[in-house]
Amino acid sequence: MRQKAIVSLLWGTQFDALRRFLEMHEPMVVILSADLTEPLMRTGIEATGSTVVYLEDMFDPSRDTRFAVETALMQAQFVQYLNTRCNEAREPGGALAPTSTVIAGTLAADLHETAALLDRLNEAASRYDIALFVTSEDATGDGKVATTWAKSRDIPTLHVAHGLALADPYTVHDDIVADKLAVFGRRGMEGYLDLGYPEDRFVITGNPGWDSYAQFRNRKGDCRRALDEKYGFKPGLPLLVFGTTWSANFSAHCNEDIYADSLMVFVASCEALRASGLQFNGVIKDRPANRTDGERRCAKVLSELGAAARDYHYCTDDTQLFAAGADLLVAVDSNYLIEGMLARTPVINLLNATGIVMGPSFEAESGILEVEAADLAGIMHRMLTDQAARREVIEIMGHRAAHYNAAEDGSAAARVAELMATMAISLPRRVKRYVWQQYLDAESAPLSGTYHANGRSDLAQMFTNTPSVILDIGCAAGNNAALVKERFPGSRAWGIEMNRHAAELARQKLDNVLVGRFEDFDLAHEGLAPGTLDAVLLADVLEHMYNPWGVMVKLREYMSPSGQLVLSIPNTRHLGLMDGLSKGNWTYAEAGLLDVTHIRFFTRKEMIRFCEETGYRVIQTRNSLDGGLLKFWQQHQDMTAPINIELDRMTLKNVTRDELLELCTIQFYLLLEKA
């Protein structure tokens, strides 16, 4: 019997849906394209017990010569067919007419690779019982070829949309190939319904790549602080972000200068704001793939307008942080505006001639302001200075957001995973395992995206010294130490990590990674001499250790005279935990405050006692507020007298403002030095 498998051409932004799907089923083979697979994706798949196989490995090199001959023959036969066409005018001398010339040229460029892809897919089908084909693109190139191939073999096919069609899809995207198209919200299927597609071809799931906005919109202050620290923005000034558009050769725009034209309108409007006395931080947020050309064109526009380059930051990273941390986001007929909507950031769609011809992208009920170039400066000024207008726009966006992305609660990945499960043929569901069965093996437990997918710039920015040697204990995939290393060029970063899957990823970013428990290593023997550590990270680690006191004492001798230690630790005096405990609940989970691998618990007072008892002094503390309690905190943050908090089963009496802040905190950050 052939082993069960699926073929996935999903992009990295949608990977969490694939991971959740695999966790729902018994281990299988996942057939991927190596070109679309990032290291974290492979490691995440293997952590579920499934096996990764690359399509590229399905091709037998010994057949390459014969395959080349076969495709060359196919190409020659098709060109001969074009030569016999009687209904097309011939060029002088019998040459192919322009249309046939284009077809022949495309055939020469693409036939070999297309035939190779089909050969690999056929080989995969001969080895495995393929239960599902899922892709982020079924309209062009390999995605369309592979989707058509799967349909020809009666394999269920699912296209998970990678973008929301803001205008009726009259370009290559008007052809839906897959059996089902998973769209973000009702808005994402309207254009296809206009073209006559039946509604049952679509499933509304939300966008897995936008699930993080459920948290980001409640942590806008944290997002802004992280951006200020990373880019050096002035904290007291508004942050204005412009999301660039693609150039004409990569979009439906017929204006080849759309990139520079729209950028020039934004910068000119910003300069008008500055001339009126309004100061701000200006950001031009480009796509990473466009950096080489975009940075050059940005500098040219600034020069032509006489704008000071120091007043504008060109960058290609931190897309979602900017959407959440900005005071105002401007873009051109872009999905980035929807991201601003989800983050509850006022957004402006800069209108252009092409966009108007193709139809309006946003209805008035969306709260997204559609503005012509001549009016941009005025509307920007109003959104930055008129707080009542800002609140009104944000409220309207909040009411309409689900129309654009149905998974406002961050559940899109789970919804897509469930859709994949309903479409797949005869895949056995995983036998239920309790959280203690699945996550207590720290050496091989699945990698949680919370701990391994992204670095935490807020922690990396806390160091106030200039470290040469960095040690990240419990470094996970190495992202935090990598951020510190990036901040201090020339420094060396080491990591210690128990989970072998995570350590494999960390090795790609750090100078050295030790696999195991910190307590088991002789650091001097490994090459870290006493008195040499300038920066130590303990991010969500101490609560997992049996003897964290011993760890802190051991670390002291390795700290340099100016060494600093940054730690983050969960808050046990959390309102939600106290409410649950009053009801008899103390339920361990995969992650969070009651992560099943936590064995030590601290309140703020006990954490400071812990640091002082082990020989450190606290230089700085920060509170990371729980997004679910943020609104409650904001309602009471100006309190001048103690209040009572009524929970379902108990009442907290005479709670001071500082105590309320602690109760609403999910995590504390501390900066320490040796006492």
Q: Is residue 437 part of a domain?
A: no
- Tell me, yes or no, whether 614 and 513 share the same domain: yes
Q: Which residues pair with 281 in a beta bridge?
A: 239
Label residue 109 exposed, middle or buried (CB < 10 Å: 0-12, 13-18, 19+): exposed
Q: Which residues have C-beta within 8 Å of that of residue 84, sequence separation ≥ 6?
A: none
Average pLDDT score over residue span 193-217: 94
> Tokens in use for 138?
């079924």
Q: What angle do CA 98, 104, 106 make, to 5 degrees?
A: 105
Most confident residue range from 115-119, 476-480, 545-549: 545-549
Predicted local confidence at residue 431, as pLDDT: 82
pLDDT, tens digit, 9 for 90 and up, residues 397-442: 999 999 999 999 999 999 999 999 999 999 999 887 788 877 777 6
142, 161 contact by CB (below 8 A): no
Instruction: Count the alpha carbons within 13 Å of 541 in the hemisphere toward its beta carbon.
Output: 25
Indicate the range of 109-123, 276-290, 348-362, 586-600 predicted with least confidence.
348-362
Mean of pLDDT over the chain: 89
More confident residue, 254 or 481: 481
Identify which of 473, 482, 621 has the alpha carbon closest to the alpha carbon of residue 537. 473
Q: List C-alpha distances in Å: 373 to 265, 270, 275, 278, 347.
A: 6, 12, 17, 19, 15
Residue type, 113: E
Going by C-alpha positions, the residue among 535, 553, 536, 498 that lies closest to residue 520 is 498
| Cβ-contact 161, 338 below 8 angstroms | no
What confidence score (pLDDT) does residue 203 get?
A: 97
d(CA 219, CA 200): 37
Write down the pLDDT at residue 251.
52
Q: Answer yes or no: is 443 within a domain.
A: no
Q: What is the mean pLDDT of residues 241-250?
A: 75
Burial (0-12, 13-18, 19+ Cβ within 10 Å), 654: exposed
Helix axis angle for 64-83 and 98-127, nearest 10°, is 150
- pLDDT tens digits for range 449-472: 445 556 788 899 999 999 999 999
Q: Are residues 291 and 366 in the same domain?
A: yes
SS (H, E, C) 511-572: CEEEECCHHHCCHHHHCCCCCCEEEEEEECCHHHCCCHHHHHHHHHCCEEEEEEEEEEEECC
**For residue range 649-667, what is the model confidence (pLDDT) as tens digits?**
899 999 999 999 999 999 9
- The lowest-confidence range among 3-7, 75-79, 322-326 is 75-79
Residue 599 lies in a domain: yes
Can you tell me the mean pLDDT for 35-59? 85
Average pLDDT over residues 218-245: 93
- Indicate whether this model's pTM tops 0.75: no
> Which residue reads 């309209």 in tokens?
139
Torsional class of 515: left (φ above 0), alpha (ψ -120 to 50), beta (otherwise)? beta
Q: Do the domain assignments include residue 438?
A: no
Please report the sign of the dihedral spanned by the C-alpha atoms of residue 370, residue 375, residue 376, residue 379.
Answer: negative
Cβ-based neighbours of 234, under 8 Å, separated by 6 or more? 228, 279, 281
For 372-523, where are the E strands, in sequence order?
A: 469-473, 492-497, 512-515
We report the CATH number of the domain holding residue 43 as 3.40.50.2000
Q: What share of the chain is helix, strand, coil (3-state, %, to 5)?
A: 50, 20, 35
pLDDT at 141 over 90: no
pLDDT value for 449: 46
Do 65 and 206 fall within a single domain?
yes
DSSP letter at 251?
S
Tokens of 129: 């019982």
Residue 455, pLDDT score: 79
Average pLDDT (113-124) is 89
- Asked whether residue 240 is domain-assigned, the answer is yes
Residue 626's CATH number: 3.40.50.150
Share of the chain above pLDDT 90, in %: 69
Mean pLDDT, residues 590-596 taken together: 88
Residue scoring higher pLDDT (198 or 359): 198
Q: Are residues 499 and 621 in the same domain?
A: yes
156 and 107 in a common domain: yes
Specify if 175 maps to a domain: yes
CB 544 within 8 A of CB 439: no
- CA 327-328-329 angle, to 5 degrees, is 135
User: For position 450, what pLDDT does the model report?
Assistant: 45
Element (H, E) at 483: helix 479-487
Pair 328, 345: CB distance under 8 Å = yes
User: Which amino acid is present at 555?
Assistant: L
Would you say 651 and 644 are in contact if contact means Cβ atoms under 8 Å apart?
yes
In three-state secondary structure terms, 5 is strand
442: Cα separation from own chain's centroid: 25
Same domain, 132 and 189: yes
Q: Establish if 75 belongs to a structural domain.
A: yes
Q: Kindly state whether residues 383 and 460 are assigned to the same domain.
A: no
Distance separating alpha carbons of residues 409 and 215, to the nearest angstrom = 9
Give CA separation, 298 vs 106, 242, 259, 285, 304, in Å. Answer: 34, 12, 9, 10, 10
Q: Are residues 195 and 277 in the same domain?
A: no
* Rounded CA Rg of the chain: 28
How would residue 445 be classed by pLDDT, with cut points 50, 70 and 90? low
What length is written for the chain? 675
Task: For 325-372, write each residue's pLDDT tens digit.
Answer: 999 999 999 999 999 999 999 999 999 877 676 667 898 899 999 999
Q: Are 570 and 505 contained in the same domain?
A: yes
Q: CA 9 → CA 27, 142, 147, 172, distances in Å?
A: 18, 9, 10, 19
pLDDT for 72 equals 79
Do strands 469-473 and 492-497 pair parallel, antiparallel, or not at all (unpaired)?
Answer: parallel
Instruction: Say if residue 189's pLDDT is above 90.
Output: yes
pLDDT value at residue 425: 96
CB 85 within 8 A of CB 154: no
d(CA 178, CA 144) in angstroms, rounded, equals: 9
Farthest CA pair distance, the chain: 97
Please report the pLDDT score of residue 247 as a whole number.
60
- Strand, coil or helix: 573: coil
The token duo for 44 is: 């995440």
442 assigned to some structural domain: no
**Do 296 and 362 have their domain in common?**
yes
Is the model's pLDDT at 103 over the cut of 80?
no
pLDDT given for residue 590 in this prediction = 82
Rounded CA gap, 146 and 169, in Å? Answer: 21
- Burial bucket for residue 391 (CB in 10 Å: 0-12, 13-18, 19+): exposed
What pLDDT does 447 receive?
Answer: 60
The predicted-structure confidence for 609-643, as pLDDT tens digits, reads as follows 999 999 999 999 999 998 888 889 999 999 999 99
Interatomic CA distance for residues 270 and 309, integer angstroms: 13
Count of other CB atoms within 10 angstroms of residue 533: 24
pLDDT digits (tens, 9 = 90+) for 257-268: 888 899 999 999
pLDDT band at 446 (very low <50, low <70, confident <90, very high): low
Q: Are residues 242 and 101 part of one domain?
A: no
Residue with tokens 């600093």: 564
Give the domain range for residue 236: 216-399
> CA dihedral in degrees (366, 321, 250, 261; nearest 10)?
80
Please indicate, yes or no, whether residues 542 and 667 belong to a single structural domain of this protein.
yes
Instruction: Tell me the one-letter amino acid at 55.
Output: L
Q: Which two tokens stand for residue 656?
A: 């001071």
Backbone phi and psi for residue 644, each to the nearest 5 degrees, phi listed first? -100, 140
Share of the chain above pLDDT 70, in %: 92
Kindly tell me if the per-residue pLDDT of 151 is higher than 90: yes
CA–centroid distance for 243 within its chain? 16
Q: Considering its fold, how many domains does the chain have in total?
A: 3
Segment 515-538, tens digit of pLDDT? 999 999 999 999 999 999 999 999
Which residues lie across from 31 on neighbouring strands?
A: 7, 53
